[in-house]
C-alpha cells in the first residue's frame, strides 16, 4: 500500500523544511491503523525536489518523516517506510512520480504485490504512477482543493479508480476494493 505525503498525509506547505510546522490531516491515523490491521504495509512515496533545489536537506526530510510517525503514533498508527525522490522534474530521473522507480524499489524491499495493492495521493502524478504498474488508484483531494484536483485530472485525461473525500474513506474503499 503506497501513500503520498504532501497533500495526502499532511497539508502541502510548499517545500516544508521545518518538522515543527508539520500537521497531519484528520482521519489519516485511523485510516493507516485500519489498513495495517488488515495486513497492509503502508509505504510513503513522495517527491521532494526541494533537496535538489537547495531549499532543504536530506536530514530535514528525515526529521519530517520522523515527525509524521510521532504524530501518527498518537493515533496508534505508523508508516512502515518512507521513500522519496530528491530530484527536480527537469532531472528526468526514474524515481520521481509519475515514474515508477520509487514504487518499484519500495515493492522490492517489502515484497509488495502490485495487483493486491493501492496508491493514495492527491495529484495526477500519483494516479499515473499507480496506473502504470497496476495499482488500485485513489485520489483524496486536500480540504478546499477539490476543484483544482478535479481540474488537474481532467486536463491530463486521468481517471482514478476511486475518489475519496478523506483518508479514512480511502482506506475503507481500498478494503472493499473500490
The catalytic residue positions are: 4, 6
Sign of CA dihedral 20, 167, 13, 101: positive
User: Are residues 38 and 171 in contact, defined by beta-carbon separation less than 8 angstroms?
Assistant: no
Q: Which three cell numbers stand for residue 137?
A: 488508484
CA distance 177 to 2: 15
Sign of CA dihedral 142, 112, 64, 129: negative
Residue 59, sorted as left (phi over 0), alpha (psi -120 to 50) or beta, turns out to be alpha
Is the bond leading into 98 cis (omega within 30 degrees of zero)? yes
Amino acid at each position: 500500500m503506497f501513500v503520498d505525503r504532501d497533500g495526502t498525509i499532511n497539508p502541502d506547505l510548499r517545500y516544508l523544511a521545518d518538522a515543527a510546522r508539520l500537521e497531519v490531516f484528520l482521519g489519516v491515523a485511523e485510516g493507516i491503523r485500519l489498513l495495517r490491521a488488515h495486513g497492509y504495509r503502508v509505504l510513503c512515496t513522495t517527491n521532494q525536489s526541494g533537496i535538489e533545489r537547495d531549499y532543504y536537506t536530506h536530514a530535514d526530510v528525515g526529521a519530517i518523516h520522523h515527525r509524521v510517525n510521532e504524530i501518527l503514533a498518537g493515533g496508534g498508527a505508523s508508516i512502515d517506510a518512507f521513500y522519496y525522490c530528491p530530484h527536480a522534474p527537469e532531472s528526468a530521473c526514474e524515481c520521481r512520480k509519475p515514474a515508477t522507480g520509487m514504487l518499484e524499489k519500495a515493492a522490492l524491499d517489502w515484497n509488495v504485490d502490485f495487483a493486491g495493492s493501492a496508491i493514495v495521493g492527491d495529484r495526477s502524478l500519483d494516479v499515473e504512477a499507480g496506473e502504470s504498474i497496476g495499482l488500485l488508484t485513489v485520489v483524496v483531494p486536500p480540504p478546499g482543493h477539490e476543484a483544482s484536483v478535479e481540474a488537474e485530472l481532467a486536463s491530463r485525461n486521468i481517471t482514478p479508480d476511486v475518489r475519496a473525500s478523506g483518508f479514512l474513506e480511502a482506506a475503507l474503499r481500498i478494503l472493499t476494493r473500490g
